[in-house]
A and B are shown apart, each in its own frame.
Chain A
Amino acid sequence: MSDEKKSTAIDLKNLKAGGFIKERGKDLFTVRLRVPGGRLPVGRLKKIAEVAEKYGQGMVHLSVRQSVELININFKDFDAVVAELGEGTQKVASCGARVRVPTACGGCEYNPNGLVDTQKSALEVDEKLFGTPTGHHKFKVGFAGCPFDCPKSATNDVGFQGAIWPVLEQDDCIGCGLCAKSCTEGAIAMDDAKRPVFTGDNCLYCGDCVKVCPTEAWKTEKKGYTVRIGGKWGRRPLVGTLFAEFLPEDRVVDFITAVLDWYKEKAEGEGRIRLGDVIRAEGAAALLGHLRERFPGFVVDATIPPQAIATQIGKER
């Protein structure tokens, strides 16, 4: 009898780490699936639908971080659910103090605003860093293809936003003024001689000037990611702040790894603490220095710590 009891005991901590989250109902769990960048081939979607119908009472939940969650799964069906999803095809995601499934916008293969390949970045981070234990708390990464920032990159522990820096080849310019008209930030104005004048301080790196220019006079001089670090949402939200600009797409995994190294070390002994709160305690300059050594030329000269949002006025601390 006692042996039988042992065989059905569940380690809730391990289950949560594996993407199985306890629900209210007796014996019921939510199974979070791994959908990097929120993109799901139809074949996998069909398989998920089959499993949801068979074990989950015909319903799934779309999580706010682009994942599909099977709900109302009885713990006795875990093995069957994982097997039927096909472990190599549709994997189960993760919770707990580790690197989560990266989110990303639709990507720029078809989105005309996209400046970088966010889907590719999300898949690379998922492949190389997903599930890495942080030792302290959850760690979220998100990718936005342009400054419209639909994925709200600054609310991730490390948030990336596609960026380009334009340069004008004056000789190719026909003075049509489309660039000045397209620039909603006032970074380009036409002078009396009908030539575009660029004010870099106003530029948000959206690349609209390059996209609209009829003669390709506006060109891309630099392309990469704007990186904001230390963001989170939840009970005490923080907006991540600027740490790097025009970081090349192929340095993303290295960059996140360097941030993780700093976080693991500096949060030692602090318990369950998010990266943003560690930066606020240590000072932004400490992390800037750590990153500047490894990514010279991309890390900004100065920044401010992640900024608190007073969601409950008078309760900020």
Chain B
Amino acid sequence: MTTVDLRGVTCPTNFVKAKLALEMVDTGAVIEFLLDDGEPVKNVPRSLKAEGHKLLGLKETDGYYVLTLEKGEE
């Protein structure tokens, strides 16, 4: 599974980087994003959902969050 580390990347650059990472994988692929607490974990999943991707889960790990997502249709 692809993991994209977006820790330390501020909004909205983290969302744009997530979008670029999603362009590199096929529809249906599962990808993980590492997100900081606060605004990033609040905003990035919501924005990715609005772009048509499927959120599968969110897990807290040592002060940051792992978002698991399935890439939606282009």
- Residues in A lying within 8 Å of B, measured CB to CB: 112, 174, 176-178, 181-182, 184, 208, 211-212, 214
* B42 x A208 contact (CB < 8 A): yes
For B46, B47, B49, B65, which residue has the most chain A Cβ atoms within 10 angstroms? B46
Query: If the complex has contacts A181-B41, A181-B65, are A208 and B46 also in contact, measured as CB distance less than 8 A?
Result: yes
Q: Which residues of A contact B54 (CB under 8 A)?
A: 214
Contacts of B41 in A (CB 8 A): 181
Instruction: Please give, as numbers and ranges, the residues of chain A lying within 8 Å of B1 by CB-CB distance.
Output: none
Q: Does B58 lie within 8 Å of A177, measured CB to CB?
A: yes
The answer to whether A176 and B46 touch (CB under 8 A), given A181-B41, A181-B65, is no
State A174–B47 Cα separation when bound (angstroms). Answer: 19
**B residues near A212, Cβ cutoff 8 Å:** 42, 45-46, 49, 55
Q: Are A214 and B56 in contact (CB under 8 A)?
A: yes
> B28 at the A/B interface (Cβ < 8 Å)?
no
Which chain B residues have a beta carbon within 8 Å of chain A's beta carbons?
Answer: 41-42, 45-47, 49-50, 54-58, 65
Q: Please give, as numbers and ranges, the residues of chain B lying within 8 Å of A181 by CB-CB distance.
A: 41-42, 58, 65
Contact check: which of A174, A177, A184, A211 meets B46 at CB < 8 Å?
A211
Query: 14 A-B pairs, CB-CB below 8 angstroms?
Result: A176-B55, A176-B56, A176-B58, A177-B58, A178-B55, A178-B58, A181-B41, A181-B58, A184-B42, A211-B49, A212-B49, A212-B55, A214-B54, A214-B55
**Which one of A177, A181, A208 has the highest number of Cβ atoms from chain B below 10 Å of its Cβ?**
A181
Tell me if A214 and B49 are in contact (CB < 8 A): yes
The 9 closest A-B pairs by CB, nearest first: A214-B55, A212-B46, A176-B57, A178-B58, A176-B58, A182-B42, A211-B46, A177-B58, A181-B41
Query: For the complex, what is the distance from the CA of A174 to the CA of B65, rounded to whole Å?
Result: 17
Check B58–A112 contact: CB distance below 8 A.
no
Assess the B42–A112 pair: CB atoms within 8 A.
no
Chain B residues contacting A112 (CB-CB under 8 Å) are 46-47, 50
A208 CA / B47 CA spacing, docked (Å): 11
| Chain A residues whose CB sits within 8 angstroms of the CB of B65 once the complex forms | 181
Give the complex CA separation of A214 and B54 in angstroms. Answer: 6
Contacts of A178 in B (CB 8 A): 45, 55, 58
CA distance A178 to B48 in the complex (A): 13
Across the interface, which residues of B come within 8 angstroms of A174, CB to CB? 57
Task: Report A-chain residues with C-beta under 8 Å of the C-beta of B46.
Answer: 112, 182, 208, 211-212
Most buried by A among B41, B45, B56, B65: B45
Per the bound structure, the CA–CA distance linking A214 and B58 in Å amounts to 11
Closest beta carbon of chain A to B34's beta carbon, Å: 14
Residues of chain A contacted by B45 (CB below 8 angstroms):
178, 182, 212, 214
Nearest Cβ distance between residue A179 and chain B, in whole angstroms?
A: 10
Q: Report the separation of the CA atoms of residues A89 and B41 in the bound assembly, to the nearest whole angstrom.
A: 46
Q: How far is the CA of A182 from the CA of B46 in the complex (A)?
A: 9
| A110 smallest CB distance to B (angstroms) | 12
A177 to B49, CA, bound (A): 15
